[in-house]
């Protein structure tokens, strides 16, 4: 249960959580539930519109009506997800905050996929070799150049083909992981697990070569 009172803002009701009432009514039956579902959909649509409009810059080829369609689809899908997972709400946040994240997720994924629609997703392993070379110049520290050189070798040596594919697409070519998941018929979670395992392998291989990644991590945190 939450022990803090969240900061107030237009998206957060400042007093005792009225969204608990919505959660209770959604779990009821009959007209009360029907009205609660309509209320929930309106909230989800507000969140979806916010997200679609916020990310609209990547969708300059779309018309205004397309934005609204994306928001409506996102709210519809989020509504189904929220209703299906209603029993998973643990009361550790406001119910509306919990519900909003489904709408924002749906809208974000849809916008990213629409932005990449028709675009080629670079999956070529060898892309790493060229780009890593291009980025390292004599101005960079010897340590950085050594690390990138070793990293390049370990990407070739230590990773599986699938791990290289995901690492290069997501970490090097900035392909959104949801877009890659759609193209590879996978999920965000599964691909991130692949990426995570690849990173762990690379870290272990570089550490075995005597490269101090812990110090580098500490410096990045400063």
Partner 1 sequence: MNTPGNPDPARLLARALGPGGLELTCEECFAELDRYVELELAGSDADAKVPGMRAHLDGCPACDEDHGSLLSFLRA
Buried b (16+ CB within 10 A) or exposed e, 19-34: beebbebbeeeeeeee
Say how many Å lie between the first and final Cα of the chain, rounded: 33
Please enumerate in sequence order all residues whose Cβ is within 8 A of that of 178, keeping only pairs 6 or more positions apart, or say none: 108, 109, 112, 113, 188
For partner 1, the closer CB: 4 or 30 = 4
Q: Among 70, 74, 100, 165, indicate the residue that binds partner 1 (CB under 8 A).
A: 100
Q: For 23-70, give the DSSP string.
A: HHHHTS-HHHHHHHHHHHHHHHHHHHHHHHHHTGGGGTTS-HHHHHHH
2 vs 208: CA distance, rounded Å? 44
Q: Which of residues 130-189 bind partner 1 (CB under 8 A)?
A: 131-132, 134-136, 140, 144-145, 147-148, 151, 155, 167, 170-172, 174, 176-178, 188-189
Q: Which of 32/217 has CB closer to partner 1? A: 217
Render the burial of 94-121: b for 16+ CB within 10 Å, e for the rest. bbbebbbebbbbbbbbbbbbbbbeeeee
The reply on whether position 86 binds partner 1 by CB under 8 A is no
> Do 45 and 71 touch, CB atoms closer than 8 A?
yes
Applying CB under 8 A, among 45, 51, 71, 78 the residue interacting with partner 1 is 51
| Cβ proximity to partner 1, 31 vs 221, nearer residue | 221
Distance CA 133, CA 148 (A): 9
Among 36, 74, 108, 163, binds partner 1 (CB under 8 A): 108
Stretch near partner 1 under the rule CB under 8 A, chosen from 1-9, 19-27, 29-37, 72-80: 1-9
Closest distance to partner 1 from the beta carbon of 42 (Å): 15
Q: Minimum CB separation from partner 1 for residue 25, in Å?
A: 19
Binding site for partner 1 (CB under 8 A): 2, 4-7, 9-12, 47, 50-51, 54, 92-94, 97-98, 100-101, 104-105, 107-108, 112, 131-132, 134-136, 140, 144-145, 147-148, 151, 155, 167, 170-172, 174, 176-178, 188-189, 192-193, 195-196, 199, 202-203, 206, 213-214, 216-217, 220
């Amino acid at each position: 249960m939450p022990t803090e009172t969240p900061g107030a803002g237009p998206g957060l009701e400042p007093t005792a959580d009225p969204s608990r009432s919505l959660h209770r009514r959604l779990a009821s039956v009959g007209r009360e539930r029907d009205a609660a579902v309509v209320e929930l959909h309106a909230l989800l649509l507000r969140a979806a519109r916010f997200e679609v409009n916020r990310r609209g810059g990547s969708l300059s080829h779309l018309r205004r009506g397309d934005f609204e369609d994306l928001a409506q689809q996102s709210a519809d899908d989020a509504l189904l997800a929220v209703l299906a997972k209603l029993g998973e709400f643990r009361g550790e946040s406001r119910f509306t905050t919990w519900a909003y994240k489904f709408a924002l997720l749906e809208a974000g994924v849809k916008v990213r996929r629409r932005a990449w629609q028709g675009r080629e997703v670079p999956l070529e392993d060898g892309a790493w070799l060229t780009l890593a070379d291009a980025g390292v110049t004599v101005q960079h520290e010897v340590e950085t150049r050594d690390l990138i050189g070793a990293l390049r070798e370990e990407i070739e040596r230590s990773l599986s083909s699938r791990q290289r594919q995901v690492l290069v697409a997501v970490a090097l070519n900035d392909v959104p992981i949801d877009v890659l998941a759609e193209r590879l018929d996978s999920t965000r979670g599964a691909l991130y697990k692949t990426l995570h395992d690849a990173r762990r392998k690379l870290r272990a291989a570089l550490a075995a070569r005597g490269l101090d990644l812990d110090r580098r991590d500490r410096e990045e945190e400063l």
